[in-house]
Structure 1
Amino acid sequence: MEQDVVGTYLVPAVLAVMMVGMGMTLQAADFRRLLAYPKAVVTGLCAQVLLLPALGWLIVTALQLPPEFAVGVMIISFCPGGVGSNLLALIARADTALSVTLTGISNLLLILSLPWWVNLSLRTFLPGEQAILLPVGKTILSTALITVVPILIGMWVRHLAGAVAQRAENGFRIFSGLFLGVLMLSIAIKNRDVIIEALWSLGPAIVALNLGSMLMGLVLASLLQLRMSQRTTIAIETGFQNAALAILVTTTFLQNPRMALAPVFYGGVMFVGAFALIGLLRATRMAPSKRHADVKL
């Protein structure tokens, strides 16, 4: 019953409120950047939407994770655009405009791609009778109602009352962090009988996925000769996932709390990884100076 309440009511409600907060940081110009400055945006989207799932598959295959844990890791790799990445980009003195654009576009793209990716993972790691596939149409509709509609509401609020929306941003950030922590703690308590086993199995995979994704984003952006502010943003965005959405998929759609442990662990590790990256870049004087932040893409 506890898990039913968490998965059926708490997770969707918390995620919807978080998406309203995300929408308040967005405006139509953020999506037009894809056409105006395609190189940086497309590079970031490729790293988030295509390369990150491939990295996740390599990791779970190499480490031979138990099936449910493997699916959980794959699901977190399918959920880019975590709430809070824009703040991290600001702290890193990176390109926050690019960060906002990548967060907004990636969250819209995953609505259509998510059920297909999840079902592919279920067929791969839980073949036969073990696999409970997501109904594609229903999943797209449910995900859109919980994510896209609240994002549009947030954008509408910002359009009508920009000053109010900007003042409310910090409140939504605090709410998002607190309630994401509550969700993660409740799932960890629900799985307390297997938490040690999960840590041993999932720990190396989660750390490898987080560090590997940030390195992959940084290297890809460097190879394409993007500015350092853009490289930092893409590295952060690639490593910072929407853990709340992954928890929604595992607890609400699939009703599998063991799968939810992967996004729970990743939700903690990604903050540590992001701040470690920021500290490393500053220590090596690779981070862009403040005067270069928020310049055009």
Structure 2
Amino acid sequence: MLIDVALPLSLAIIMFSLGFGLTFADFGRVLTMPRAVITGMAMQVLAVPAVAFVLVSFTNLPPAMAFGVMLLSFCPGGVTSNILTKLAGGTVALSITLTAVVSLFSVVTVPVLVGWAATTFLGSAAPEINVTAIGMSMFVITAVPVTLGVLLRFIAPDFADKQESRVSMAALVLFVVIVAAALATNWTMFVTHIAGLGPILIGLNAVLLILGVVVARVLGLSGPDGLCISVEMGVQNATLGIAVAGLIAQTGGIPDYAIPAAVYGITMYVVTIPGMFVLRMIFGKT
């Protein structure tokens, strides 16, 4: 019962921290850099699930694990993607805008894609998917906290500037706790499937990082824009993936579907941090 309450509440706090670091200008930036924003959105909403689907199709993962990988791929960029984009030499303003817009957009895209993935990978074993209920739940634990965070920054900018680092640290701690809880709750399942999950999750991460900069280059975007899109694609909101898995299972606790997101919550940094420095050397100056 504790995890059923703590998980959505923790996600809401994490999403509030995202909004707390945003201004209304970050959303308006869609109009000032439309090509980069549209490219980034399309890559996150369409390309990430497509790559995950292709990779999963070439594995023999159990249906629940395959479905969990797809759930992860539907999630927007993580709350630390802005920091990693800065370290990579990417366009931070674009990163902030993509994180904000795609996170809000996911209230619509995630429930729809979840319904499709459940039918595709779980078949007759799929739980009953109430797309509307998932959408409403996501709205409450993602869109509402983000909006409240933005409004608070708008109303009290000086207070927000002073407290932003503390709120971000609290969100990071909560993220670590959630991932640890997901792994501990399903430790036997994790040990059983890590050999199969590890390679596909690491491979997914690497392909997304490379694909982001390559597509950006083909479309004529700058090197920093490409690095930003690359990081946004590679760093998923694993906490949201775990929470959505719980909304689908409706059995209490953290379900098997959440294991890929929990594992990715760790491996994505192991792959992304060194990967982004390599990509920066190759694409950062173009």
After TM superposition, the score normalised by the length of structure 1 is 0.91
User: 2 CA distance for matches of 1:5 and 1:37?
Assistant: 43
Query: Per-residue displacement from partner, 1:26-65 (whole Å, max 9, x unpaired)?
Result: 1222122222221100111111000110001001111121
Residue 263 (structure 2) aligned to one of 265, 273, 295 = 265
Displacement of 1:169 in angstroms is 2.1
Q: Report the Cα offset of residue 267 of structure 1.
A: 0.6
Structure 1 window deviating more from structure 2 (160-169 vs 150-159): it is: 160-169
Paired with 1:75 and 1:259, the residues of 2 have a C-alpha distance of 8
Partner of 1:62: 58
Please point out which of 273, 277, 280 is paired with 2:278. Answer: 280
The corresponding residue for 1:249 is 244
The 1:36–1:286 alpha-carbon spacing in structure 2 relative to 1, beyond 3 Å, is: closer
Q: Quote the Cα distance in structure 2 between the aligned partners of 1:107 and 1:133.
A: 25
Distance 1:44 1:231 in 2: 9
SS, match of residue 263 in structure 1: helix
Q: What 5-or-longer segments of structure 2 have no aligned partner?
A: none
Which 4+ runs in 1 deviate beyond 4 A?
none
Equivalences for residues 125-164 of structure 1 within 5 A: 125-128=121-124, 130-164=125-159
Read off the aligned partner of 2:18 and give its amino acid letter.
Answer: M
Counterpart of 2:71 (choices 75, 78, 96) is 75
Distance 1:287 1:144 in 2: 36
Task: Indicate the residue corresponding to 1:199 in structure 2.
Answer: 194
| Cα-Cα RMSD | 1.5
- 1:102 counterpart = 2:98: yes
Please, which runs of 5 or more residues in structure 1 have no aligned partner?
Answer: 290-297
8 Å contact 1:69–1:262 — kept in the other structure?
Answer: yes
Aligned residues between the structures: 283
SS in 2 for 1:32: helix
| SS of 2:242 mapped into structure 1 | helix
Specify the SS of the correspondent of 1:194.
helix
Match of 2:227 in 1: 232
Whichever residue aligns with residue 137 of structure 2, its letter is S
C-alpha distance in 1 between matches for 2:204 and 2:282: 25
Q: Residues of 1 paired with 2:147 and 2:190: CA distance?
A: 37
Question: Corresponding residue for 1:41?
Answer: 37
8 Å CA contact retained: 2:8, 2:243: yes
SS in 1 for 2:89: coil
Displacement of 1:119:
1.2
Structure 1 vs Structure 2: percent identity of aligned residues?
33
Would the aligned equivalents of 2:69 and 2:260 in 1 still touch at CA under 8 Å? yes
Distance 1:234 1:126 in 2: 31
CA distance in 1, matches of 2:133, 2:151: 26
User: How far apart are the structure 1 equivalents of 2:67 and 2:265?
Assistant: 16
TM-score in terms of structure 2 length? 0.94
Report what 1:180 is aligned to.
Answer: 175
Give the drift of 1:73. 0.2
1:240 and 1:172 map into 2 onto residues whose CA distance is 20
